[in-house]
Each structure stands twice: as structure tokens, then as C-alpha cells.
Amino acid sequence: MSDDNLRKITLTRTGERDYEAENPRGGRLTFGEGQSADFTPVELLLTAIAGCSAIDVDYLTTRLAEPTQFDVAAEAEKLRDHEGNHLGEVRITFTARFPAGPEGDAARTRLPDAVAKSRDRLCTVSRTVQLPTPVDYVIT
């Protein structure tokens, strides 16, 4: 695996069920179990899926017109069944508005295709969730 393809974060426990993640560029994000306003890991997963697709769709539509509104929501039911804890179907909802005129019309026309391309090919996060992806746990 080349350094260009490797993605990595580190986590540090900062308190009882509180953590800080850091990326190689120095970005930091706190999260926890849900006892505070910080995001939970499940909320971060939903954020990652929505955020990844938002970036894809943003690239593909804003080449044509700058949106007047661009919101993305993600939701899923947390399930506990014979397969253990997991999420049910994840729903990503785009609300995008573009200005009147030919450029806005072109962006509106491109929006469904941009969302489909993100879902089916471009978004690394949702594609990883959709595909069978092994997760290896190691203790050092």
C-alpha cells in the first residue's frame, strides 16, 4: 500500500468514554458515548457518509451553478438483533436549490446523476459500507 493511498487516524482517551481523534494533518475531533453534545461513533459514521457524498455532489453540480441552498441529512435506525448491533438502511437526503436561469437549470438537471454517481461509484465511505469490507482488529 502506498502512502498516497493510506488513510489513518489515531484515537486518544481523554476521559470516561470520551476520545479525541487526530489525523496526520493535525485536525482533531472529539467524540464520545453520547453523554455530552459530542458526536457518537454512529453519528460520525452517518456524518462521514453524508459528508463524502456531499463533497462529490458539490463538485459535480457547482461547476454549473453555485447553490442557494445545499443541505444533506443522514439517518438510520440502530438495530439490535441476531446479527448484533448494527444500523438498518441508511437514508441520505439532499436538499439543493440553485438560482433561476440556464446555469441553475443545468445544475438542477445534473443533481440526480451526481447523487447516483456518488452512491454507486465515487463516495469511498458509503461504498465501503455497501461492500463487504473486512475489519481487522490488532492488539499491540
The DSSP secondary-structure symbol of 111 reads: H
Q: Within this chain, do residues 30 and 49 fall inside the same structural domain, yes or no?
A: no
Q: Within this chain, do residues 71 and 30 fall inside the same structural domain, yes or no?
A: no
pLDDT confidence of residue 3? 78
Q: Within this chain, do residues 25 and 45 fall inside the same structural domain, yes or no?
A: no
pLDDT in tens, 41-78: 999 999 999 999 999 999 999 999 999 999 999 999 99
Q: Within this chain, do residues 60 and 47 fall inside the same structural domain, yes or no?
A: yes
Average pLDDT, the chain: 96
Q: Within this chain, do residues 26 and 73 fall inside the same structural domain, yes or no?
A: no
Q: Within this chain, do residues 107 and 65 fall inside the same structural domain, yes or no?
A: yes
What pTM was estimated for this model as a whole? 0.92
Q: Within this chain, do residues 80 and 56 fall inside the same structural domain, yes or no?
A: yes
Boundaries of domain holding 90: 40-130
Q: Within this chain, do residues 124 and 59 fall inside the same structural domain, yes or no?
A: yes
pLDDT confidence of residue 80? 97
How many domains does the structure of the chain reveal?
Answer: 2
- Nearest CA to 73 out of 90, 56, 60 is that of 90
Q: Cα(95)–Cα(97) distance, rounded to whole angstroms?
A: 7
| Intervals of the chain under pLDDT 50 | none
Residue 86 falls within a domain, yes or no? yes
Q: Cα(57)–Cα(91) distance, rounded to whole angstroms?
A: 16
Q: Within this chain, do residues 56 and 112 fall inside the same structural domain, yes or no?
A: yes
Determine the residue type at 114: A
Q: Cα(1)–Cα(118) distance, rounded to whole angstroms?
A: 24
Q: Within this chain, do residues 116 and 57 fall inside the same structural domain, yes or no?
A: yes
